[in-house]
């Protein structure tokens, strides 16, 4: 046993040495790892970034598609609109006619198939009234025609009967009167010869003379009555007869017009009754012309039995399946990118895997009406014609439209997340090494939802940082120069001559100096009516206040407020400005005002 023990010791000593060496190596490895980690943490802390948190991607070159993606609705570009042709029966034109039956939406119909049946009961009642009106008008026309004929016959009766009879009678009377006159003249001549011989008395001679005079008067009377008959009475009677004829003809024309109107109304009523049965003018798929409110999407009118429709109101659409289009609304921020003729790719949600081609055919110049619940952002309607539309698509289906605004074959591009806007310019952070970065101003071109093309600034294969907002400390951005708005001051002072005098401005009413400078709220340097301090009671900026004082009161722009200029300032505030005149020259310079303001702020 002791020997064996002695023989075992030499073999165990090397094992202990090897274990110690291994422990030493492990210790050194651990120390190295801890040192490396510490160095890495120290270096990361000193550089301000953990390299492992960076998200980077190289700038690439290749084809680029600038796409505007929108949702739209499929419709036909050539819709046959079936409207109500039945006229309103109310006096005000606001009434309508009820629907008795309508074909179901989505039904395929052929030309001549019944689409809508309207209520014609009121029209049928009106049809009976129109028929009675036509019969009455026809009777009036017949009576008027008879009166016209009677008037013409009466005229002819007078010319050929009464007038001729009266004229003949007067001519006969004239002949008799002429004979009596001749006889009386001969008797007078005989009496005169006998009286010369003394055979008859003078009394008989006078009687014969009277008989001649009477016969002559009778002849002249008959001749006068004939002349009156021919020249006056005949004309008077003809005028009367002609007037009667014209009056009868006018009455006939009125009755004929009334008859024509009654017949037209009867025919129109018959046509209206026919219009109550609406048939398909061509083959197609029925789409009801329902109308929805733009405010809440609720239905304002639904084509169904019992609904009241007006004349010319749309009832049915029969779209042409060979001429389909997509109508979508584009946000105002992207509508300027869209022009007519741009190529589009269309996918239909209801038909997976279907891809169609299209072309922009119309871009509206005016925004779509916004509803009560919509935002103030405007949208513009864009119409896209579908090239070779298949029969499987239908009106009303939702479609996704990709409008290809610009397509580049070989463009330098990078993810849009790698850009940072600063001072109106775009910047990218390029990683040149593990802890080496550079900031590049980039000029961008076409963009889409994920990528942006680069015109200048970064090159192909440059590695850009995408999560810039987490590592803005790595960027070397230039100082943003404040925008110069001095031109606004000129605009505000254009009508300075129209302003009230300095002593009458609102600043004087609250104790502030007209044309001077206002103090901070609640007092401060200058007291109430002194300087206009920062909002919330923050200390005022002396340089800004002095600048404002000089702008308001240095009217001649010579860099100081002269005694004449100070005379225009409020009296209470004038003494404070005059107290800044340390050199006693009667004028206050910018430096003297700054000194006064600094002392006031320090106090």
Rounded-to-integer distance, Cα 300 and Cα 372, Å: 16
Average pLDDT of the residues of the chain: 81
pLDDT in the model for residue 497: 47
Rounded-to-integer distance, Cα 295 and Cα 277, Å: 34
Q: If one looks up domain 122-275 in CATH, what number appears?
A: 1.10.287
Rounded-to-integer distance, Cα 579 and Cα 456, Å: 59
pLDDT higher than 50, residue 8: no
Enumerate the domain spans of the chain.
Answer: 122-275, 488-602
pLDDT in the model for residue 214: 94
Write out pLDDT tens, residues 275-315. 999 999 988 889 899 987 766 556 788 999 999 999 999 99
Rounded-to-integer distance, Cα 330 and Cα 369, Å: 13
Residue 347, Cβ neighbours under 10 Å: how many?
Answer: 15
pLDDT band at 217, cuts 50/70/90? very high
Across 176-185, 483-492, 517-526, least confident range: 517-526
Q: Comparing 529 with 544, which gets the higher pLDDT?
A: 544
Across 6-20, 232-246, 261-275, 419-433, least confident range: 6-20
Q: What are phi and psi of 358, to 5 degrees?
A: -150, 180
Residue 108, Cβ neighbours under 10 Å: how many?
Answer: 9
pLDDT higher than 90, residue 46: no
Rounded-to-integer distance, Cα 98 and Cα 92, Å: 17
Give SS3 for 540.
coil
What's this model's pTM, rounded to 2 decimal places? 0.48
Give SS3 for 241.
helix
Rounded-to-integer distance, Cα 341 and Cα 361, Å: 6
Rounded-to-integer distance, Cα 589 and Cα 561, Å: 6
Rounded-to-integer distance, Cα 505 and Cα 530, Å: 15
CATH top-level class of 488-602 = mainly alpha
Q: Comparing 519 with 591, which gets the higher pLDDT?
A: 591
Write out pLDDT tens, residues 466-488. 988 888 888 888 887 777 777 77
Query: Each residue of 127-155: b (16+ CB within 10 Å) or e?
Result: beebeebbeebeebbeebbebbeebbebb
Residue 221, Cβ neighbours under 10 Å: how many?
Answer: 14
Rounded-to-integer distance, Cα 343 and Cα 360, Å: 7
- DSSP letter, residue 479: P
pLDDT higher than 50, residue 511: no
Take residue 323 and report the two structure tokens written for it: 């001429």
Of the spans 291-295, 335-339, 551-555, which averages the highest pLDDT? 335-339
Rounded-to-integer distance, Cα 326 and Cα 399, Å: 7
Per 3-state DSSP, what percentage of the chain is helix, strand, and coil (rounded to 5)?
Answer: 45, 25, 30
pLDDT band at 508, cuts 50/70/90? very low
Give SS3 for 326.
strand
Which residues on neighbouring strands pair with residue 73, listed in sequence order? 327, 398
For residue 493, the number of C-alpha atoms closer than 13 Å in the C-beta half-sphere is: 9
Q: 486 exposed, middle or buried (CB, 10 Å; 0-12, 13-18, 19+)? A: exposed
| Alpha-carbon distance values, 23 to 13, 378, 597 (Å) | 16, 75, 75
pLDDT in the model for residue 492: 67
Residue listed under structure tokens 């300087």: 531
pLDDT band at 449, cuts 50/70/90? confident
| Alpha-carbon distance values, 255 to 126, 135, 261, 267, 554 (Å) | 21, 12, 10, 18, 95
Note whether 532 and 540 are within 8 A (CB). Answer: yes
Here the contacts of 557-566 (C-beta below 8 Å, separation 24 or greater) are 559/589, 559/590, 560/587, 560/588, 560/589, 560/590, 561/587, 561/588, 562/586, 562/587, 563/587
Residue listed under structure tokens 């049965």: 277
- DSSP letter, residue 481: P
pLDDT higher than 80, residue 259: yes
Q: If residue 300 lies in a helix (H) or strand (E), which one and from where to where? A: strand 299-301
Across 138-142, 539-543, 563-567, least confident range: 539-543
Q: Comparing 362 with 492, which gets the higher pLDDT?
A: 362
pLDDT in the model for residue 501: 52
pLDDT in the model for residue 7: 37
Q: Comparing 174 with 535, which gets the higher pLDDT?
A: 174
């Amino acid at each position: 046993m002791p020997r064996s023990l002695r023989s075992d010791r030499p073999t165990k000593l090397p094992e202990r040495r090897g274990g110690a060496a291994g422990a030493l190596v492990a210790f050194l490895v651990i120390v190295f790892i801890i040192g490396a980690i510490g160095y890495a943490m120290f270096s990361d802390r000193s550089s301000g970034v953990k390299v492992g948190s960076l998200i980077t991607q190289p700038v690439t070159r290749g084809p680029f598609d600038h796409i505007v993606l929108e949702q739209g609705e499929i419709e036909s570009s050539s819709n046959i609109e079936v409207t109500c042709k039945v006229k309103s029966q109310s006096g005000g034109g606001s009434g309508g006619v009820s629907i008795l039956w309508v074909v179901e939406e989505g039904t395929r119909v052929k030309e001549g198939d019944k689409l809508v049946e309207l209520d014609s009961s009121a029209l049928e009642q009106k049809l009976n009234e129109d028929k009675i009106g036509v019969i009455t008008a026809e009777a009036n026309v017949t009576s008027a025609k008879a009166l016209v004929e009677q008037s013409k016959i009466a005229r002819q009766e007078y010319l050929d009967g009464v007038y001729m009879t009266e004229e003949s009678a007067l001519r006969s009377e004239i002949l008799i009167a002429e004979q009596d006159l001749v006889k009386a003249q001969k008797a007078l001549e005989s009496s005169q010869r006998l009286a010369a011989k003394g055979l008859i008395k003078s009394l008989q001679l006078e009687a014969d003379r009277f008989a001649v005079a009477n016969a002559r008067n009778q002849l002249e009377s008959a001749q006068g009555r004939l002349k009156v008959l021919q020249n006056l009475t005949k004309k008077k009677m003809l005028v009367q007869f002609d007037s009667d004829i014209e009056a009868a003809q006018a009455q006939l024309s009125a009755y004929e017009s009334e008859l024509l109107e009654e017949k037209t109304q009867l025919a129109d009523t018959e046509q209206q009754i026919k219009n109550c049965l609406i048939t398909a003018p061509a083959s197609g798929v029925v789409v009801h012309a329902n109308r929805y409110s733009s405010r809440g999407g609720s239905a304002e009118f639904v084509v169904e039995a019992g609904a009241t429709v007006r004349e010319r109101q749309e009832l049915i659409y029969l779209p042409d399946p060979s001429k389909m289009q997509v109508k979508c609304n584009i946000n105002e921020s992207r509508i300027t990118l869209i022009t007519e003729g741009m190529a589009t790719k269309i996918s239909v949600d209801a038909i997976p895997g279907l891809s169609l081609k299209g072309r922009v055919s119309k871009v509206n110049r005016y925004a779509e009406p916004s509803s009560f619940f919509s935002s103030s952002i405007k949208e513009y309607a864009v119409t896209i014609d579908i090239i070779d539309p298949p029969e499987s698509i239908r009106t009303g289906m939702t479609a996704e439209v990709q409008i290809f605004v610009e397509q580049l074959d070989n463009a330098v591009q990078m993810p849009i997340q790698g850009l940072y806007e600063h001072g109106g310019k775009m910047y990218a952070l390029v990683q040149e090494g593990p802890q080496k970065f550079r900031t590049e101003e980039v000029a961008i071109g076409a963009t889409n939802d994920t990528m942006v093309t680069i015109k200048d600034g970064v090159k192909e294969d440059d590695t850009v940082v995408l999560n810039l907002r987490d590592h803005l400390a790595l960027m070397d951005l230039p100082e943003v120069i404040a925008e110069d708005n001095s031109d606004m001051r000129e605009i505000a002072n254009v009508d300075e001559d129209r302003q009230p005098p300095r002593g009458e401005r609102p600043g004087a009413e609250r104790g502030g100096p007209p044309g001077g400078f206002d103090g901070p709220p609640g007092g401060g340097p200058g007291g109430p009516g002194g300087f206009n301090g920062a909002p919330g009671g923050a200390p005022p900026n002396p340089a800004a206040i002095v600048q404002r004082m000089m702008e308001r009161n240095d009217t001649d722009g010579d860099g100081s407020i002269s005694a004449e200029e100070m005379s225009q300032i409020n009296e209470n505030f004038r003494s404070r400005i005059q107290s800044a005149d340390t050199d006693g020259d009667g004028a206050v310079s910018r430096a003297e005002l700054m000194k006064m303001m600094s002392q006031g702020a320090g106090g």
